[in-house]
Amino acid sequence: MNVVIPSLHYQISVKFYKQILGFTLVHEDENCCFVSTGDIHILIHSDKENTEFYPNGHCIYLDIVVSNLKEAKRYLLKNGINIMKEWKDNDSSFLLIEDPDGNLIEIIEFINRG
């Protein structure tokens, strides 16, 4: 399965997914590229204007699981990424960030799991 992310800020988004989130560029052409990490494959597609489907850019919500949320938070802050929200529940801790187009990304660490 692939995820497609429409982007109004194509080059900035590609840089974000590669440099901040650690994805590898697999293929790129004039208007889109594939990036991947492990079994996660994302197509970033350049949109020249807002689409009628998602005019505010909040069209994708990604979950990325990490083993150390504190370390991930330090890394994100060091790289100038704003932490929009941080919370915990019984078995998980969360950070919420945005990519350059305002798509939401939830960083999760599962805790108290045996």
DSSP line for 11-59: HHHHHIIIIIT-PEEEEE-SSEEEEEETTEEEEEEE-SS--SS-TTS--
Contact criterion met (CB below 8 Å) for 43 and 4 = yes
Report pTM. Answer: 0.71
Locus of tokens 């489907």:
53
Taking only the tens place, the pLDDT of each residue in 21-38 is 999 999 998 888 999 998
Predicted confidence at residue 53, as pLDDT, reads: 47
Query: What single-letter amino acid sits at 34?
Result: F
Comparison of pLDDT for 3 and 88, the residue scoring more = 88
Comparison of pLDDT for 72 and 111, the residue scoring more = 72
